């Protein structure tokens, strides 16, 4: 199958054209202020270099920072309504109480707290108050809001209250876009509510982004289905991704990790993806990124949902080096590297300039940095090595040496030897590993919820059924789906043999309906 993989980063937009396991063509170019223009240019460039133009494109996979950037920049967010079904509990902490004020103001939410929800053992806290819910729905409609996030107390145990609330809202606002918290988050109420509201505020952008990508592909003459990458190293049909844009958070680094696994054939090990602005450190387990099990902040908001365990550090090709103190970053010239770096005629000393001066990379005009003092170059290299070693050590789970897979456009900044690493693995096309990871991605389905009234085997079987259904809806071929990760934890304080089950499946893309 012939695919195009695209990864839009803060500094570069990368694209590859592959068939089977062969890379036919690839391109790395600066990200444009108008992201779509950069995507169109990248697609046209890899297609122009295609040695097999007579074979049609089967699919396009796109990794985008649109949704993360919208949260970080407090821009392009849709006004949303927050409905919490938990009263009389939790009255002292209203929805989004811990959001940064500027982000809260950008979303400008209407907030409602409705009687209902459930206890930790699945019993109703109080009866669901339909009258209150209808009143909230009318207020949401009158305010012109069409995006709603609904969070129920202990809804991962039983989603009954959220389903009732959604039915009421659809009665009043038929075209409402509704996010139900039990489909995204885990038990913690506030963190689950936070990611629900981030998703609700991004759904409008999700729809417009997918539409813009679709138009960009048409402009390039491509009619194949397209997918967006997710933060578990898989892809999902674009229209499905538009409804759950939060799953695209941190998808860029996970694309690189999947690309590293594909390029090296290694399924386990540390991965360092060095871009133009940052280096992301993660760990591969079975060919997929290790998942975070703790609270992850997105744009200053505490969340607890499916996210890769990543450690970003301020080290990239555009990282600014202070020539007097030898401080490494944290500021970067970003996508202005080709203008500001010394090797490109600029006046700002960057990590790329240091690497070129040391003979580690052949980029730009080396003559422009040959006069740099050797002590300055050696000191900067030592600072980068120390920064990498300290942070790689933070991500390790044992004292034993582990292989490190070096990828990204700035991979030349990683030394050939690092303390705590058994080896540093470099591969061809490492600079576009993110786009390769996107192009080679599979489709996933995941369940993370509490089951009660079922024995262990029945609970696992039901979780697998739900995960398989998700994968098929996201574009996987049903016969290719397999379970790659499953765990269950009995919850002793809940009745009815309650247990939390986390189960993930992956499958190959189904091209049959193309």
Cβ neighbors of 378 (< 8 A, separation 6 or more) are none
Final residue belonging to a domain, choices 202, 219, 239? 202
At 81 the three-state DSSP class reads: strand
- Token pair belonging to 458: 């029945």
Confirm whether 25 is domain-assigned.
no
Phi/psi zone of residue 258: left (φ > 0), alpha (ψ -120 to 50 degrees), beta? alpha
CB-based contact 494:503 (threshold 8 Å): no
pTM of the model: 0.85
Q: Which of 147, 171, 202 is the last residue of a domain?
A: 202
* Cα atoms in the Cβ-side hemisphere of radius 13 Å centred on 196: 30
Would you give per-residue pLDDT tens digits along the chain (514 residues)? 799 999 887 677 899 999 988 899 999 887 777 777 888 889 999 999 988 888 889 999 999 878 888 898 898 999 999 999 999 988 899 999 999 999 999 999 999 999 999 887 778 899 999 999 999 999 999 999 999 999 999 888 788 999 999 999 999 999 999 999 998 877 789 999 999 999 999 999 999 989 988 988 998 999 888 999 998 888 988 988 999 999 998 888 899 999 999 999 999 999 999 988 889 999 998 888 998 878 888 889 999 888 889 998 989 999 999 999 999 988 998 878 889 999 999 999 999 999 999 999 999 999 999 999 999 999 999 999 999 999 999 999 888 899 999 998 899 999 999 999 999 999 889 889 999 999 988 898 888 877 888 889 999 999 999 999 999 988 889 999 999 889 898 887 767 788 888 899 999 988 765 4
Of 149, 176, 202, the last residue of a domain is 202
- Answer whether residue 198 is part of any domain: yes
Q: Is residue 3 part of a domain?
A: no
CATH code, 97 = 3.40.50
Task: List 28's β-bridge partners, or say none.
Answer: 14
Exposure letters 294-304 (e unless 16+ CB within 10 A, then b): eebebbebebb
Q: At what angle do helices 130-142 and 160-172 cross, to 10 degrees?
A: 40
Q: Is residue 7 part of a domain?
A: no
Structural domain boundaries, residue 456: 442-507
Q: Identify any residues that bridge with 225 across adjacent strands, giving them in sequence order.
A: 59
Count up the domains in the chain and report the number: 2
323, two tokens: 């020539």
Specify if 353 maps to a domain. Answer: no
In-domain check, residue 146: yes
The pLDDT score that the predictor gives to residue 514 is 46
The verdict on residue 178 lying in a domain is yes
Q: Classify residue 118: in a domain, yes or no.
A: yes
Among residues 444, 398, 396, which one has the least CA distance to residue 254?
444
């Amino acid at each position: 199958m012939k695919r195009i993989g695209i990864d839009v980063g803060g500094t570069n937009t990368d694209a590859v054209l592959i068939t089977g396991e062969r890379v036919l063509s690839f391109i790395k170019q600066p990200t444009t202020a108008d992201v779509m223009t950069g995507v169109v240019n990248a697609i046209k460039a890899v297609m122009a270099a295609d040695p097999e133009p007579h074979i049609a494109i089967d699919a396009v996979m796109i990794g985008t920072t649109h949704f993360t950037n919208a949260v970080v920049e407090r821009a392009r967010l849709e006004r949303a309504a927050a409905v919490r079904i938990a009263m009389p509990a939790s009255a002292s902490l209203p929805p989004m109480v811990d959001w940064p004020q500027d982000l809260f103001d950008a979303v400008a939410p209407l907030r409602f707290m409705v009687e209902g929800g459930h206890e930790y053992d699945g019993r109703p806290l109080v009866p669901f108050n339909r009258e209150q819910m209808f009143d909230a729905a009318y207020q949401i409609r009158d305010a012109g809001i069409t995006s709603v996030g609904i969070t129920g107390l202990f809804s991962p145990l039983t989603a009954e209250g959220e389903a009732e609330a959604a039915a009421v809202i659809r009665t009043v606002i038929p075209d409402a876009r509704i996010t139900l918290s039990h489909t995204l988050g885990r038990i913690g109420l506030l963190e689950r509510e936070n990611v629900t509201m981030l998703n609700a505020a991004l759904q409008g952008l999700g729809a417009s982004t997918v539409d813009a990508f679709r138009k960009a592909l048409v402009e390039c003459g491509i009619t194949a289905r397209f997918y967006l990458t997710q933060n578990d190293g898989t892809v999902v049909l674009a229209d499905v991704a538009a409804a759950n844009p939060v799953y695209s958070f941190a998808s860029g680094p996970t694309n690189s990790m999947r690309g590293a696994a594909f390029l090296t054939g290694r399924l386990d090990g540390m991965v360092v993806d060095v871009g133009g602005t940052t280096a992301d450190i993660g760990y591969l387990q079975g060919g997929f990124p290790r998942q975070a099990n703790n609270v992850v902040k997105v744009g200053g908001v505490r969340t607890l949902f499916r996210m890769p365990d990543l450690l970003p550090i301020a080290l990239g090709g555009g990282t600014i080096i202070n020539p007097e103190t030898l401080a490494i970053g944290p500021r970067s010239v970003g996508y202005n590297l080709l203008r500001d770096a010394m090797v490109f005629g600029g006046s700002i000393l960057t990590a790329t300039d240091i690497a070129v001066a040391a003979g580690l990379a052949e980029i730009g005009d080396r003559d422009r940095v040959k006069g740099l003092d050797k002590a300055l170059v050696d000191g900067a290299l030592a600072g980068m090595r120390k920064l990498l070693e300290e942070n790689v050590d933070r991500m390790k789970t044992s004292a034993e040496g582990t292989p490190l897979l070096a990828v990204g456009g700035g991979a030349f900044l990683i030394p050939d030897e690092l303390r705590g690493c058994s080896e540093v693995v470099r591969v061809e096309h490492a600079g576009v590993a993110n786009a390769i990871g996107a192009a080679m991605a599979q489709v996933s389905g995941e369940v993370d919820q509490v089951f009660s009234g079922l024995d262990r085997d029945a609970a696992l079987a039901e979780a697998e059924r739900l995960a398989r259904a998700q994968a098929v809806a996201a574009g996987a071929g049903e016969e290719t789906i397999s379970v790659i990760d499953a765990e269950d934890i009995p919850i002793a304080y809940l009745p009815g043999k309650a247990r939390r089950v986390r189960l993930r499946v992956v499958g190959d893309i189904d091209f049959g309906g193309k």
